[in-house]
């Protein structure tokens, strides 16, 4: 049985899509969606554990990221959601538990909103789209001319310096090394012009100089019939953990788990704990099966 992640490629709508899979393909599907400048490789530490428990795991490289194509085109959350849906259908999958990290959380919420019949559960990990606040560097990257500055930020010397600072901070008790390494890896990818253009285009659809411009909080009531888990690193320097607490208050039947020692990448900081939490949540809940009339009733309640 294929427990270890395997990298595949497929052409959809004329564009190459890279994706990793684990499991035999017959078990319940988990779709893992990475964050901005990241790739499906971010999920590799947890994929074997999920596959061992009988799940089929699918982790795409979103367009503009990793080994997927980087075309000129639409990099909105809606376009990303449609792309993930198309990959699922092409591989013969109808429904899934959607797990999204950072930007991928926004994509996962968009999937659940656009295609509720395909969403069995929703898991958000240090997700975007749940509040205005976001790291200053991401806001600055939306300014005019940022695409010309980004190659300088992606130079090897600067990234190595960042790693050195991260190691120094760890020595005094601040666990930020994972964040530094993951962000350095992501910024290194921006040396490629196609990836840089995709990054800027994506960022400007969701963030402006004042903060996050896309919010799902007015639609979270639609999640009341879907098992909903939010995971956050208490030391997240990118998106504050307060967004997780606020989301939990808006959806009272949701579950919130905070990893006290983790930063923006709790699934990388503590992969075993994260995988076990995800398995416990999935195995302890019934998959949603939202009917069209239920969706209509939920929408109508918002008009009252």
Query: Looking at the annotation, which residues are catalytic?
Result: 102, 236, 264
Strands of 23-81, DSSP E: 29-33, 56-60
For residues 110 and 130, the answer to whether their CB atoms sit within 8 Å is no
Supply the Cα-derived Rg of the chain in whole angstroms.
18
Distance in angstroms (rounded) separating the CA atoms of residues 175 and 13: 42
Distance in angstroms (rounded) separating the CA atoms of residues 158 and 164: 10
Distance in angstroms (rounded) separating the CA atoms of residues 282 and 272: 15
* Among the listed residues 19, 27, 106, 28, the one whose alpha carbon sits nearest the alpha carbon of residue 59: 19
Q: Which two tokens stand for residue 233?
A: 């690193």
Neighbours of 145 (CB within 10 A): 7
Distance in angstroms (rounded) separating the CA atoms of residues 237 and 250: 23
* Among the listed residues 98, 125, 80, 90, the one whose alpha carbon sits nearest the alpha carbon of residue 28: 98
For residues 288 and 227, the answer to whether their CB atoms sit within 8 Å is yes
Report how far Cα 270 is from the mean position of its chain's Cα atoms: 16
């Amino acid at each position: 049985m294929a427990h270890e992640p395997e990298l595949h490629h497929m052409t959809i709508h004329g564009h190459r899509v890279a994706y990793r899979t684990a499991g035999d393909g017959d078990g319940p599907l988990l779709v893992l969606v990475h964050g901005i400048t990241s790739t499906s490789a971010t999920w590799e530490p947890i994929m074997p554990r999920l596959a061992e428990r009988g799940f089929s795991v699918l982790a795409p490289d979103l367009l503009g990221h990793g080994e997927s194509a980087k075309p000129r085109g639409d990099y909105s959350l809606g376009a990303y959601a449609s792309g993930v849906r198309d990959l699922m259908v092409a591989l013969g999958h109808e429904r899934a538990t959607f797990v999204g990290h950072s930007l991928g959380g926004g994509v996962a919420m968009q999937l659940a909103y656009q295609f509720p019949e395909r969403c069995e559960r929703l898991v958000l990990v240090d997700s975007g789209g749940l509040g205005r606040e976001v790291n200053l560097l991401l806001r600055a990257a939306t300014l005019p001319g940022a695409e010309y500055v980004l190659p300088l930020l992606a130079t090897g010397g600067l990234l190595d310096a960042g790693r050195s600072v991260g190691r120094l901070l760890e020595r005094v008790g601040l666990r930020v090394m994972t964040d530094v390494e993951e962000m350095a890896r992501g910024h290194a990818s921006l040396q490629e012009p196609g990836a840089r253009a995709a990054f800027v285009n994506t960022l400007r659809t969701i963030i402006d100089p004042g903060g996050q411009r896309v919010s799902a909080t007015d639609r979270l009531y639609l999640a009341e019939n879907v098992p909903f888990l939010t995971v956050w690193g208490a030391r997240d320097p990118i998106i504050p953990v307060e967004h997780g607490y606020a989301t939990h208050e808006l959806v009272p039947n949701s579950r919130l788990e905070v990893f006290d020692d983790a930063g923006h990448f709790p699934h990388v900081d503590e992969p075993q704990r994260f995988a076990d939490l995800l398995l416990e949540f999935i195995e302890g809940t019934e998959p949603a099966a939202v009917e069209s009339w239920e969706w209509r009733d939920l929408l109508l309640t918002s008009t009252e």
